[in-house]
Amino acid sequence: MTVVPVLKDSQRFKLDATDDAIFYNEPRFVHHLDAGFRARLTALYRERIPPCAQVLDLMSSWVSHLPEDVSYDNVIGHGLNAEELSANPRLDRHWVQNLNRDQVLPLEDDSVDVTLIVAGWEDLQQPEAIAAELLRVTRPNGALICAFSNRMFFSKAPQIWTDGDDRDHLTYVATVLMAQGWPKPEIIAEQTRGQGVMGLLGGKGDPFFAVVANKPRG
């Protein structure tokens, strides 16, 4: 597998250079994105993921945001906290791996239909290798859905992310994917509505961004 560099070394720099496994050692059973974002994400999954799919939830936690009324053939979870992953009812199996230390995924070639990454790309220091690995494990015509908002753990995000704005983030993710052989992805950028009374009064929720790429048929 050939990995095409996109970032400079300086763009991989994090303020907190300690092992990510230490930072995520304690489980966080909280939602990092608001209800409006989560509802839009679930709606996107309903539109794009067939029930027969082999789903990889990369950089997951205690919730996968998949539609509750849809069953999938298999949902594989990955993350950095075993307790959070064990609490996720949608995962059929899971594993723990620090992707900033080891970018090789323990999955066979052409074994995944759809990969999900939610609020995780902004932590990657070697995104090129991860994009290349995801292309390897994705079946022809399979998809990658990478979603995020304007939130982050600032000290754990590399400089390429902390220095950029929302448009820069979308361009950055798309550029890395295309450099590794993914076709030009679809870009989604929407403003969600706040939930409850605030939404009724026109209040805004977390902005919703997604980069959706499909592996060529072959």
Domain ranges of the chain: 9-214
| pLDDT values of the chain reduced to their tens digit, one per residue, 218 residues | 789 999 999 999 999 989 888 888 888 877 889 999 999 999 999 999 999 999 999 999 999 999 999 999 999 999 999 999 999 999 999 999 999 999 999 999 999 999 999 999 999 999 999 999 999 999 999 999 999 999 888 899 999 999 999 999 999 999 999 999 999 999 999 999 866 655 555 577 899 999 999 999 87
pLDDT of residue 207: 96
pLDDT of residue 196: 62
What class has domain 9-214?
alpha beta
Question: Using CA atoms, how far apart are residues 176 and 186, in angstroms rounded to an integer?
Answer: 14
Q: How many residues can be counted in the chain?
A: 218
pLDDT of residue 83: 97
Nearest to 120 by CA among 159, 78, 67, 87: 78
Q: Is 202 exposed, middle or buried (0-12, 13-18, 19+ CB in 10 A)?
A: exposed
Question: Using CA atoms, how far apart are residues 26 and 152, in angstroms rounded to an integer?
Answer: 17
Q: Residue 8 CB: number of other CB atoms within 10 A?
A: 10
